[in-house]
């Protein structure tokens, strides 16, 4: 058990045994799942430190479901291999003739490559739901942080933190109307960060879009400073911050 958690007082830390096998995972079991019924299993993941294995399993840092309809293997998106990355992952599946096998993957063979999991939930629906464990005060409202993924680029780095939604660590409400603020783009390489900076320096109107969260899409123009720098803690990824003003096109 570990101190980090998104509900309750602890989470589960998954540590590989140091052998040659990369097939490292936690198995989750739910009773009473009905054949032919569609469910969504979701869980919170934290990457305490970037995994250093040079031969990570393709299922690393994902939720994977086996033995669904037609014996299919379904998997969630992967958490980023960046220290401190925290997000909620989900897989929707329909129960087949056999009981589904649900795994929370680490995917490394190295004992130092620890992954933490918390707030595992299954719902009879086609979307992940807010986790509830019954321990919250009746007058307290809580929600998980939102991270917006979907920066349009041909490069491999596509993670975006949107200022309107609180920078990935909390959520904030704002009055209706055109938005202003600062967009912070997060990249694994300086080349990606430079491309983003160059685009904002030389383009009039840009469009921000996320196919999974369509309501936050907008057209905007740079409206102030543009900065490119390494992150303060760890200095392992690049941040491009852009002051912006939403426009109607």
Which position has the higher pLDDT, 71 or 240? 240
Task: Label residue 130 by pLDDT band (50, 70, 90).
Answer: low
Q: Classify domain 12-123 at the CATH topology level.
A: Jelly Rolls (2.60.120)
Q: Give the per-residue pLDDT at 170.
A: 36
Question: What number of other Cβ atoms are within 10 A of residue 155's Cβ?
Answer: 13
Q: Which of 29-38, 138-147, 190-199 has the lowest mean pLDDT?
A: 138-147
Domain ranges of the chain: 12-123, 148-247
Per-residue pLDDT, 176: 60
Please report the pLDDT score of residue 19 as a whole number. Answer: 83
Q: Which residue has the higher pLDDT, 204 or 171?
A: 204
Measured between alpha carbons, how far is residue 4 from residues 1, 26, 118, 193 in Å? 9, 17, 9, 30
Across the range 214-223, mean pLDDT stands at: 84
pLDDT value of residue 96: 84
Could you tell me which residue, 214 or 151, shows the higher pLDDT? 214
Whole-number pLDDT of residue 174: 44
Question: 61-103, pLDDT tens digit by residue?
Answer: 999 998 755 556 899 999 999 999 999 999 988 888 888 889 9
| Three-state secondary structure readout of the chain | CECCCCCCCCEEEECCCCCCCCCCEEEECCCCCCCCCEEEEEEEEECCCCCCCCCCCCCCCCEEEECEHHHCCEECCCCCCCCCCEEEEEEEEEECCCCCEEEEECCCCCCCCCEEEEEEEEECCCCCCCCCCCCCCCCCCCCCCCCEECCCCCCCCCEEECHHHCECCECCCCCCCCCEEEEEEEECCHHHHHHHHHHHHHCCCEEECCCCCHHHCEEEEEEEEEEEEECCCCCCCEEEEEEEEEECC
- 150 close to 186: Cβ distance less than 8 angstroms: no
pLDDT tens readout for residues 140-171: 444 444 444 443 344 444 444 444 443 443 33
Between CA 83 and CA 47 the distance in angstroms is: 6
Is pLDDT of 127 > 70? Answer: no
With a CB cutoff of 8 Å and minimum separation 6, the contacts of 38 are: 92, 93, 94, 95, 124, 125, 126
Share of the chain above pLDDT 90, in %: 27
Per-residue model confidence as pLDDT tens digits over 3-25: 788 887 888 999 998 887 888 89
pLDDT at site 215: 75
Q: Give buried/exposed letters for 63-102 (b at 16+ CB in 10 A, else e).
A: bbbbbbeeeeebbbebbbbbbebbbbbbbbbbbeeeebeb
Report which of residues 111 and 32 the model is more confident about: 111
* Euclidean distance between CA atoms 98 and 52, whole angstroms: 36
Q: Is residue 108 predicted with pLDDT exceeding 80?
A: yes
pLDDT at 7: 81
The residue among 55 and 141 whose pLDDT is bigger is: 55
Provide the pLDDT for residue 97: 81
pLDDT greater at residue 128 or residue 142: 128
End-to-end CA distance of the chain: 51
Q: Average pLDDT of the chain? A: 78
């Amino acid at each position: 058990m570990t101190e980090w958690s998104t509900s309750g007082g602890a989470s589960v830390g998954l540590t590989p045994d140091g052998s040659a096998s990369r097939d490292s995972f936690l198995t989750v079991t739910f009773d009473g799942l009905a054949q032919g019924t569609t469910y969504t299993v979701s869980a919170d993941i934290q990457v305490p430190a970037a995994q250093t294995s040079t031969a990570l399993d393709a299922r690393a840092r994902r939720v994977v479901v086996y033995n669904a309809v037609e014996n299919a293997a379904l998997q969630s998106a992967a958490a980023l291999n960046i220290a401190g990355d925290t997000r909620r992952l989900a897989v929707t599946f329909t129960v087949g003739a056999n009981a589904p096998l649900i795994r929370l993957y680490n995917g490394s063979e190295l004992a130092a490559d620890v992954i933490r999991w918390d707030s595992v939930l299954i719902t009879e629906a086609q979307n992940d739901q807010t986790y509830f464990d019954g321990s919250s005060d009746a007058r307290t409202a809580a929600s998980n942080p939102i991270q917006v993924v979907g920066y349009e680029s041909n490069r491999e780095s596509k993670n975006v933190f949107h200022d309107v939604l609180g920078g990935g660590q909390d959520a904030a409400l704002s009055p209706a109307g055109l938005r202003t603020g600062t967009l912070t783009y997060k990249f694994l390489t300086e080349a990606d960060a430079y491309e983003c900076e160059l685009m904002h320096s030389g383009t009039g109107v840009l469009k921000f879009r996320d196919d999974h969260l369509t309501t936050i899409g907008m057209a905007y123009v740079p409206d102030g400073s543009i900065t490119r720098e390494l992150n303060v803690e760890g200095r392992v990824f690049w941040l491009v911050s852009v002051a912006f003003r939403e426009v109607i096109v």
